[in-house]
Chain A
């Protein structure tokens, strides 16, 4: 078992399948079958990884480590811990779900499916890589298919959206690349774990001052600059206000299955990067600017909720909702480094906070992707209409669909018994213990979320049925089978969150111990 390069195989599976598609050039239906088959293999593989994972241990599992270019500090180094495993699993769930959503595209279906599979490979690679060199390759590898998926198969305004998406994330990526090159110059290392050790020991400043001292900037200033460069890369991806303006138009114009992956998995690349890379390598820098960053996180939570309330286009509304939900993750990451005594035991608060962050990442991925999938079904039935004002009373015409949307909506607004609640409860618990006022200032976000989600439900599903939609078809059996497992998982995770917390908690505790000394 240990000899099998499980992670490499899992990463290569979608990439190779995508290449095969490009070489074989089958017709659209067959391409879809091959892609979906690959998606399910991927899901099985990630489940296998889950089963084989030593739950309850904090260490890295399924390690593969090979020298690549030793002179440059480059190794091929992949492994998973409890945190990355959750995201690999999420990717494994969302790739097949996204592939099954919607019809075969009429335009270049083979290329479409190949790109989705490449994106999947990029995601798995990003979530498992522990050396900057190939981590960055995967990071970019997921960006490029996403760009083409939006540009070639998107809706109205796709060119502008794709360009905006690309430029925004590219600027972030370049800032991050420069920051890591500076780090490499200073330390000769690309390895995340070694960099984290140096960062936690406070050795980065000295190293940077030695290597880039000619610039005339102090070591701590250099460390801060490098930190900000890395931060920018992740902040754009999550996104953190004010780097979020690419998101609404991108989510709204991308084809539904791609939006599902963008919000479900790619936004997690940002949060994951914050947790896996920024937090362990730069705990001191993060602590130094944490008041400012907390302000940004609170703004992300509250302002995004308000912006969502102002939207009339459904996809844009849920795009802002997505920003709002990830704001809680940002809050958690920025707050966990606090050392000041709070209320009660700080260790408990920090553990609650970070467990909540990881749980929220998974839950949001599941719920948001499901919601966008459902919105896509509505858009398809309504012939492209997607303004709230176009609908009304749909529950009469499509009761099952309305029920499914209702469950996902309530999961999204954090109803206990469904998945969203547990993560948000833990984040609020942790935040309150560490800094009560931050928790207090974040609560309006929860309230406004309820307001816009219920307004959405009221305006689309309740009231009198608009005559135009009298004959709207309810969900087909296939569509029900696509959504029902996701809803079931929401319920299971809401009732028994311990199922995944067993996996998350040790890794999180390990991380907290490292970054708070």
Chain B
């Protein structure tokens, strides 16, 4: 059964791909057909993925691979393939399930859009690429899908392409992630050069993540004396992961990506695609571990690559949380929150291993999708208003949205015990606490947790509480107050909220089923773990952080209802310079504008000038030289060669005149000449014959 499911797993990406192809040739008016195709394909994919997940849940130590030849180069073969293992099954199930809910939500959200058909086509394309990415058993196939999700992201961010901001954001997203992808490409070709394969696992043990290849990477190579090739390859791959997952310094594209329709933000820029970087690191984790020094009792593995990942993650987690505090766009707050949470995932992965990072990835996918869809519902209900200062009191008109949003907010903030986000974030802090290299990431993570609770409370206070503050002079021509969204939109919210709560059960320290599953082990129930000293200490810290964050948020924003949109932010009044800097996203975009982008533009101008004027000028000079020589030649000809020629001509003419004078037509003269000639000939012959 599990063998058959492993073979069927290829259908998980192929079905949405076929749907995308079918929608591509569907005409614009056939809206219903387009959404049915996309949702149907995703539903079937979800069914297969969940079945595969359930099958492997019973046997987490299994790894079934299906490889096929793609290219024959020289005497080697490059294979592609897919696999069924706990990691791919969990991701495929999550992506297809969350994807399905978001597809359904989109049916309501995009109902009035002119390009509804195309929207579902792009969504299906994205689904196919993302699902292909998670089941790939080859770094090359993963890279191919990786770029294709980038394409889908480009198309969907720029879906409302007539908006110049959307078009700019789409380009920025593609190019910023491509910066990281250059690293990924180099890492990939290096890996292939060094190990001769890009297949992760084969049944014969020749894969690049299996013992043979890893041993050679740890030891041999050009750089063996300084750093093992494995470390450099891992860091190059991490460049790609950092680009896709919006880690500092490549995070700038993700907040701008919010120009896309909200379901897109939920699906691609919160739940699935942006987590692909974390997934990639989890997938190649054996490579990250090469050359690890084990540290005593703690389970932490420490390698240079993992250390870098941990630091980048911790820094991003804190950095983005700070910026989120001062944003006013409902989606941008969530976007920075996503950047921050992705930082947590890298922190967890670097300090605690695959399971820690991946569990947060899975729980985050549900509650962040929930929050984004909730935000979408609010935006929809508030007539496309996105600025939280112009909302307020929405809970009265949108009760379902409010209730589910509150669940998402508490899960993200990490409210204890009942919310999945608490357990997964707690695991990360726990891992950071036990990290033998430094305690600073733990402190950064804890401070980040305070900020997370704070900015989420601020947002909820602004949006759902207080009086309604709509824009002055805004004439919507509709009902003035917000309205609840239709069932097709609220139903996915409720389902996601259920998961945002329920998933936590699978990852408590007492029964760490999810973590064990992801590590390929069976879980054991042990309530004792819950009450061990260290676990309680970390849980206590995290509880204090959350309480402090929510409390402070309430103190500033909830205590007194925010009466008018014009009123400056409570924090802005107290800490103006800091707040303004944060509001301007710490000027990172401006910095890049002034450095990288300007450099690029200057280099372009420089080479254009070189081409046009210096090289072009040199060619022109040569051309003029040739013309100059031609002139000199002509001059010489006119006055030298031609003059001589003329002289010669004159001589010939004179000679010809003399010759002509001989032929004067008088016969006796001719006869005289003939006689003289004859006599001369006779004389010559008589004397000359001796």
| A450-B175 in contact (CB<8A) | yes
Structural contact, B193 and A342, CB atoms closer than 8 A: yes
Tell whether A344 pairs with B196 under 8 Å between CB atoms, given A454-B174, A454-B175, A458-B168.
yes
Candidate in A342, A393, A461, A498 with the most chain B CB atoms within 10 angstroms: A498
Segment at the A interface, from B159-167, B317-325, B387-395: B159-167
Alpha-carbon distance between A120 and B76 when the two chains are bound, in angstroms: 37
Q: Is A310 positioned at the interface, with any CB of B under 8 Å from its CB?
A: yes
CB-CB under 8 A from A461, the residues of chain B are 161
Contact of B175 among A248, A416, A451, A462 (CB under 8 A): A451
Is A306's CB under 8 angstroms from B604's CB?
yes
Q: Are A433 and B189 in contact (CB under 8 A)?
A: yes
A-B contact count (CB 8 A): 158
| Contact between chains at B186 and A309 (CB < 8 Å) | no
Cβ of A309: which chain B residues have Cβ within 8 Å of it?
600-601, 604
Residues of A within 8 A of B601 (CB): 309
Whether B148 and A416, one on each chain, are in contact in the complex, defined by CB atoms closer than 8 angstroms, is yes
Q: Establish whether residues B161 and A463, one from each chain, have CB atoms under 8 Å apart when the complex forms.
A: yes
Q: Are the C-beta atoms of B615 and A242 separated by less than 8 Å?
A: yes
Given A245-B615, A343-B194, the answer on whether A429 and B189 have CB atoms closer than 8 Å is yes
Assembly CA distance A464 to B160 (angstroms): 10
Interface residues of A in 302-317 (CB under 8 A from B): 303, 306-307, 309-311
Taking a contact as CB atoms under 8 Å apart, the answer to whether B190 and A432 are in contact is yes
Query: Bound complex: CA of A501 vs CA of B192, how far in Å?
Result: 19
* Residues in B neighbouring A509, C-beta threshold 8 A: 74-75
User: A348 and B76: CB pair below 8 A?
Assistant: yes
Distance of A412 Cα from B186 Cα, bound (Å): 20
Q: How far is the CB of B621 from chain A (nearest CB, A)?
A: 12
Q: Mark B136-151, 1 if CB is under 8 A from A, else 0.
A: 0000100110011001
Q: Classify the interface of chain A: helix, strand, loop or mixed.
A: helix
In the complex, the answer to whether B71 meets A497 with C-beta atoms within 8 Å is yes
Check if B603 sits within 8 Å of A306, measured CB to CB. Answer: yes
Q: Which of A246, A355, A439, A502 contacts B186, CB < 8 Å?
A: A439
Is B171 close to A, CB under 8 A? yes
Q: Is B607 among interface residues, defined by CB-CB distance under 8 A?
A: yes
CA distance A422 to B221 in the complex (A): 26
Instruction: Report which of A393, A447, A458 forms a contact with B182, defined as CB distance below 8 A.
Output: A447
Name the distance in Å between A207's Cβ and chain B's nearest Cβ: 33
On whether the beta carbons of B74 and A347 are closer than 8 Å, the reply is yes
B194–A344 touching, CB < 8 Å: yes
CB distance from A163 to the nearest CB of B (A): 9
Interface centre among A168, A349, A454 (most CB of B within 10 A): A454
Residues of A within 8 A of B611 (CB): 244-245, 248, 307
Interface status of A198 (Cβ within 8 A of chain B): no
The reply to whether A345 and B196 form a contact with Cβ atoms under 8 Å apart is yes
The residue in chain A whose Cβ has the minimal distance to the Cβ of B196 is A344
* CB of A415 closer than 8 Å to a CB of B: yes
Cβ contacts under 8 Å, B623 to chain A: 167
* B73, B75, B221, B610 interface centre (most CB from chain A within 10 Å): B73
B608 with A307: CB separation less than 8 A: yes
Given A242, A417, A439, A501, which contacts B71 in the complex, CB threshold below 8 Å?
A501
Q: CB < 8 Å: which of B73, B162, B186 contacts A426?
A: B73
The reply to whether A306 and B607 form a contact with Cβ atoms under 8 Å apart is: yes
Chain B nearest Cβ from A231, distance in angstroms: 18
In the complex, which of the residues B151, B164, B604 has the most CB atoms of chain A within 10 Å of its own CB atom?
B604
Contact A303–B607 (Cβ < 8 Å): yes
Given A245-B616, A307-B608, A310-B607, decide whether A347 and B75 contact each other with a Cβ distance below 8 A. yes
**B219 interfacial contact with A, CB 8 Å:** no
Other-chain contact of B72, A342, A432, A505 (Cβ < 8 Å):
A505
- A462 CA / B174 CA spacing, docked (Å): 15
Asked whether B687 is an interface residue with its Cβ less than 8 Å from the other chain, the reply is no
How many Å from the CB of A359 to the closest CB on chain B?
10
Per the 8 Å Cβ criterion, residues 113-171 of B in contact with A are 140, 143-144, 147-148, 151, 158, 161-164, 166-168, 170-171
Contact of B185 with A by CB under 8 A: yes
Residue A164 lies at the interface, judged by CB distance under 8 Å to chain B: yes
User: Given A348-B196, A393-B162, A410-B151, are A432 and B600 neighbors across the interface (CB < 8 Å)?
Assistant: no
How many interface residues does chain A have, given as a range?
Answer: 35 or more
B178 x A450 contact (CB < 8 A) = yes
State which residues 168-219 of B face A: CB under 8 Å: 168, 170-171, 174-175, 178-179, 182, 185-186, 189-190, 192-196
Is the pair A458, B604 in contact by a Cβ cutoff of 8 Å?
A: no
When distances are taken between beta carbons in the complex, the residues of chain B under 8 Å from A416 are 143-144, 147-148
Q: A432 and B221: CB pair below 8 A? A: no
Q: Write out the residue numbers on chain B whose beta carbons fall within 8 Å of the beta carbon of A350.
A: 74
Give A448's nearest chain B residue, CB to CB. B600
Q: Do A343 and B607 contact each other (CB < 8 Å), given the known contacts A416-B147, A439-B189, A463-B167? A: no
CA separation between A498 and B71, bound complex, in Å? 6
Does A93 have its Cβ within 8 Å of any Cβ on chain B? no
Say whether B222 faces chain A, with CB atoms less than 8 Å apart: yes
Interface residues of A in 432-458 (CB under 8 A from B): 432-433, 436, 439-440, 443-444, 446-448, 450-451, 454-455, 457-458
- The answer to whether B575 has its CB under 8 Å from any CB of chain A is no
Complexed CA–CA distance, A493 and B144 (Å):
14
Query: B150: nearest residue on chain A (CB-CB)?
Result: A415
How many Å from the CB of A13 to the closest CB on chain B?
A: 34
Task: Identify the closest chain A residue to B147 (Cβ).
Answer: A416
Residues of chain B lying within 8 A (CB to CB) of residue A118 = none
Chain A neighbourhood of B182, CB < 8 A = 443-444, 446-447
The reply to whether A348 and B74 form a contact with Cβ atoms under 8 Å apart is yes
Q: Does the CB pair B193–A433 fall under 8 Å?
A: yes
Complex-state Cα separation, A89 to B272, whole angstroms? 43
Most B CB contacts (10 A, CB to CB) among A167, A415, A443, A462 go to A462
Instruction: Return the CB mask of B615-648 against A: 1 if under 8 Å, else 0.
Output: 1100100010000000000000000000000000
> Does B439 touch A at the CB level, under 8 Å?
no
| B186→A458 contact, CB < 8 A | no
**How far does the alpha carbon of A248 sit from the alpha carbon of B244 in the complex, in Å?**
36
Q: How far is the CB of A440 from chain B (nearest CB, A)?
A: 6
Contacts of B186 in A (CB 8 A): 428, 432, 439-440, 443
Chain B CB within 8 A of A396 CB: yes
A498 to chain B, nearest CB (A): 6
Q: Residue of B at shortest CB range from A341?
A: B222
Interfacial chain B residues near A425, Cβ < 8 Å: 140, 185, 189
Given the known interface contacts A311-B608, A429-B192, the answer about A462 and B161 at a Cβ–Cβ threshold of 8 Å is: yes
A84 to B204, CA, bound (A): 39
Query: In the complex, which of the residues B75, B148, B178, B222 contacts A447, with contact meaning CB atoms closer than 8 Å?
Result: B178
User: Which one of A245, A307, A396 contacts B604 once the chains associate, using CB atoms below 8 Å?
Assistant: A307
When C-beta atoms are compared, the residue in chain A nearest to B222 turns out to be A343
Nearest residue, chain A, Cβ from B172: A454
Question: Mask for B216-235, Cβ within 8 A of A = 1, else 0?
Answer: 00000110000001000000
Given contacts A311-B608, A458-B171, A462-B158, contact A348 B73 (CB under 8 A): yes
Chain A to chain B: the 5 pairs with minimum beta-carbon distance, closest first = A351-B74, A462-B167, A310-B608, A416-B144, A310-B604
Query: Could you give 26 example pairs across A and B, Cβ below 8 Å?
Result: A245-B616, A306-B604, A307-B607, A307-B611, A310-B604, A343-B190, A345-B196, A348-B73, A348-B75, A351-B76, A393-B161, A416-B144, A421-B144, A421-B147, A446-B185, A451-B600, A454-B174, A454-B175, A458-B168, A458-B170, A464-B164, A465-B162, A497-B70, A498-B72, A501-B72, A502-B72
Apart from A309-B600, A417-B144, A451-B600, what 18 extra A-B contacts exist at CB < 8 Å? A164-B619, A306-B603, A306-B608, A307-B604, A310-B607, A310-B608, A344-B194, A348-B73, A393-B162, A415-B151, A416-B148, A428-B185, A428-B189, A450-B175, A454-B171, A462-B164, A463-B161, A498-B71
- Interfacial residues, chain A to chain B (CB-CB below 8 A): 164, 167-168, 242, 244-246, 248, 303, 306-307, 309-311, 342-345, 347-352, 355, 393, 395-396, 410, 415-417, 421-422, 425-426, 428-429, 432-433, 436, 439-440, 443-444, 446-448, 450-451, 454-455, 457-458, 461-465, 497-498, 501-502, 505, 509
